[in-house]
A and B are shown apart, each in its own frame.
Chain A
Amino acid sequence: MPEIVITAEAGIVLEPEMKFRADAIVTVGDKVAQGQPILRDRRRPECVVTAPMTGHIAELEIGPGRRLTNLILYREDREDRHTYEVEASRKAVSDGSDSSSPRHLLQEAGLWMRLRARPFGSVPHPDSRPAALFIMAVDTQPLAPDPRGPLVGEMQEWFKLGLDALALIGSPHIYMCQDRGSDIIADERVKTIKIANLHPMGLAGFQIRHHFPARLDRQVWDVSLEDVCAIGYLLTTGHLPATRLISVADPGMRKTRLVCCQPGADLREISQAYMAPGQHSILSGSVLDGRDSRWLGYRHRQASVIKRPQRTRHVHWLEAALKRASRPMPVIATAALEHALGGMFGGMALLRALSVGDDEEAIKLDALSLLEEDLALADYVTDAEPRFATQLRTALNRIEVNT
């Protein structure tokens, strides 16, 4: 069993893509219980952020455009967990009758924000239903923890309950993406997809594009196995789970560490005692698309410790003139790039469409099923500048505005 670490400080980082316009429910100095709502989105009341641990709010700053710029909590050692009223929802789920009360429960407890809708990768609308739901029980990112590992004992019960709730709220088509081992669940509602443990095949985007492409008029949701278990846990106990399983990985670590920590945990505290000598920076997320952060990101399940880049050496003006061109270098279609795109049909055509800003062609090539994380490996392999992930986000934003 991985070690349980509740760090002394925790910070909430919401990626700009989540477009969260924060309204604070608490103020600095307030004592909060674990799982208690602390932030709500101004325009979408279904988006709620909860306290990762029992403690008090140490810093809270909301910047221009009501974007959250800083939210830090200090831990307090008292037993205090926020309890949600789950009786009605549990009954509704077991009857399979009414989907509105579990829906409200998830929205109230902040688990609704763990769902991700494609196209565009936003939090789903509170009353919407997806055309298909993908449960991701694999994570093929380099050195990511196996999401299936903790699925033993009570977790299986919680998983089944969470699945029932999602089936009631969600969709007639549920796809379970898992590794090549035994089936996680045998259920006539669920279609199991077995995936080789090879990045990028474990990313939801590739599976959705292949099995049930998202369209402008057809939303597809994806959710991770851990979050399905969290829904079941909430329905059973009335609490939110206190920890998430994460790995803190190479190359700057002496060994890869697997820990259960609270959401938004202090990665510096977790990794410090295990780092190799030298200067390092800590990324929340994988080495492919992680970002420099002291706090665990909202959706991340791993942190990577890498060598801090050396100070840039002096570049001769001629070399700079040759390299720093007015236009970036094109990428060349090699087998390496093809593998990085998971053998996607028309992958090269999609990259070309993105780099010239041809949104119609990108839609034709099913770019609507993809998000930034799906192109991170292609960016890594080709060292593309500007990054295809950024170009995809720009194209998606443009499509979203124009439709």
Chain B
Amino acid sequence: MMRGIWTRETVALMLVAAAVPVAAAWIWEEGVTSLTRLLLTALIGGFWQAIFTIGRAQPPSVTGGISALAIAMLAPEAGPYQFALGVSFGFIFGELVYGGWGRSVLNPALVAIMFIAFSFPTAAWPQVPVQVGWAVVPAALLLLGLGIIQWRVMLGAVGVLIFLGGFGLDLLTSATVFVLIFLVCDPATSASTRWSRWAYGLLFGALVGLFASLWDASSVQIAISAALLAMLTAPLLDELSIALWRVTVRYRHG
């Protein structure tokens, strides 16, 4: 018998490969402090992955690198201990206790960032340079072409964002597109049926539009909050779409 290649780690490596130019653009813009921040985050994440590998024989995943990049780039600027605490919480309770990437319901980066933001509300949200937004575009095309991110989610979200932005690109900030491609479209935690993927993308776009019209907040905070709420809703959307599909099957086949 022959064996194919689309294992979990193949997908993870492709995601990481797509994220490399984004990371490079960000480090180029922000300088050496951002690099140390990224390395520190990756070190903490890697440490917890190693602990879980040794303790529970749970295979580590290279997507930890993407989570580290997202946390380093988007987390509020709290002190180093607070930051380390947030990253640890995100990796452990966002992903590792569920069994690692592919079994968790939330993205660890989202959990870590929201943990820091809720615990230390005075910490300032960072700015995401516009070059990062542009670097996301080729990554998105690559991932779409490889079929790793779901075009329905992406199209739904981008469509709503353009519509709510008055047919302009105002809502498609660098932070929003980065969060959309690397966190919301994460194939392990996004919605899993045809209909629920549309709904999931639309929901993310609509929440970003809603928050942008209500709050006077940083675009990072808006994107992260919308992504967390949408991701929490994804299993419900799956359930609803399957229930709806069953109604149509009953109607067609009795």
When distances are taken between beta carbons in the complex, the residues of chain A under 8 Å from B193 are: 345-346, 348-349
Contacts of B58 in A (CB 8 A): 325-327
Q: Which 7 A-B pairs have the closest CB atoms?
A: A335-B147, A330-B102, A326-B57, A348-B192, A381-B4, A325-B59, A329-B8
Over the window 363-397 of chain A, the binary record of Cβ atoms lying under 8 Å from chain B Cβ atoms (1 yes, 0 no) is: 01110000000000000111100000000000000
Q: In angstroms, how far is the closest chain A Cβ from the Cβ of B216?
A: 37
- Kindly supply a per-residue 1/0 record for chain B positions 101-130, scoring 1 wherever the CB is within 8 Å of any chain A CB and 0 otherwise: 111000000000000000000000000000
A283 within 8 A of B: yes
In the bound complex, residues from chain A placing their C-beta under 8 Å from that of B251 are none
* Number of A residues, CB within 8 Å of B: 36
On B, residues with C-beta under 8 Å from A are 1-9, 11, 53, 56-60, 99-103, 146-148, 150, 187-188, 190, 192-194, 238, 241-242, 245-246, 249, 253
Task: Please tell me if A152 contacts chain B, counting CB pairs below 8 Å.
Answer: no
Quick check: is A282 within 8 A (CB to CB) of the other chain?
no
Are the CB atoms of B7 and A329 closer together than 8 Å?
yes
Q: Is the CB of B242 within 8 A of A364?
A: yes
Q: With A and B bound together, what is the CA distance between A277 and B29 in angstroms?
A: 58
Given contacts A290-B1, A345-B194, contact A383 B242 (CB under 8 A): no
By the criterion CB–CB under 8 Å, are B102 and A323 in contact? no
Closest CB in chain B relative to A364 CB, distance in Å: 6
Please, how many angstroms separate the alpha-carbon atoms of A325 and B59 in the complex?
6
Contact B57 A366 (CB under 8 A): no
Say whether A382 contacts B249, CB under 8 Å: no
Is A336 close to B, CB under 8 A?
yes
Q: Which of A252-299 contact B (CB under 8 A)?
A: 283, 287-290
Name the A residues within 8 Å of B102 (CB-CB): 329-332
Q: Which residues of A contact B245 (CB under 8 A)?
A: 345-346
18 pairs of residues in contact across A and B, judged by CB atoms under 8 Å = A283-B1, A287-B2, A288-B1, A324-B57, A327-B58, A329-B8, A329-B9, A330-B8, A330-B102, A331-B6, A331-B7, A333-B150, A334-B6, A334-B187, A346-B245, A348-B192, A382-B4, A383-B6
Q: In the complex, are the beta carbons of B11 and A334 less than 8 A apart? A: yes
Residues of chain B contacted by A329 (CB below 8 angstroms): 7-9, 59, 102
Q: List the B side residues contacting A306 at CB < 8 Å.
A: 1-2
Please name all residues of chain A whose beta carbon is closer than 8 Å to the beta carbon of B2 when the two chains form the complex. 287-288, 306, 380
State the CA gap A300–B161 with chains docked (Å).
53
Which of B6, B190, B241 sits near A336, CB closer than 8 Å?
Answer: B6
Interchain CB contact under 8 A, B8 and A322: no
B253 nearest CB neighbor, chain A only = A213
Which residues 327-365 of A sit at the B interface, judged by CB distance below 8 A?
327, 329-338, 345-346, 348-349, 364-365
Question: A382 touching B7 by the CB < 8 A rule?
Answer: yes
B78 CB, min distance to chain A CBs, angstroms: 32
Cβ contact within 8 Å between B187 and A333: yes
A338–B193 Cα distance when bound, in Å, is 10
Residues of A near B238 (CB, < 8 A) are: 349
| Residue from A283, A336, A337, A365 having most chain B Cβ neighbours under 10 A | A336
Task: Report the separation of the CA atoms of residues A381 and B192 in the bound assembly, to the nearest whole angstrom.
Answer: 18
Q: Which residue of B lies closest to A337 (CB)?
A: B6
Q: Are A326 and B56 in contact (CB under 8 A)?
A: yes
A186 at the interface (CB under 8 A from B): no
Kindly list chain B residues whose C-beta atoms are within 8 Å of the C-beta of A325. 57-59
Q: Is A401 on the interface with B (CB-CB < 8 A)?
A: no
Which chain B positions have C-beta within 8 A of A213?
A: 249, 253
- Chain B residues with Cβ below 8 Å from A337 are 6
Task: With CB as the reference atom, state the residue of chain A lying closest to B192.
Answer: A348
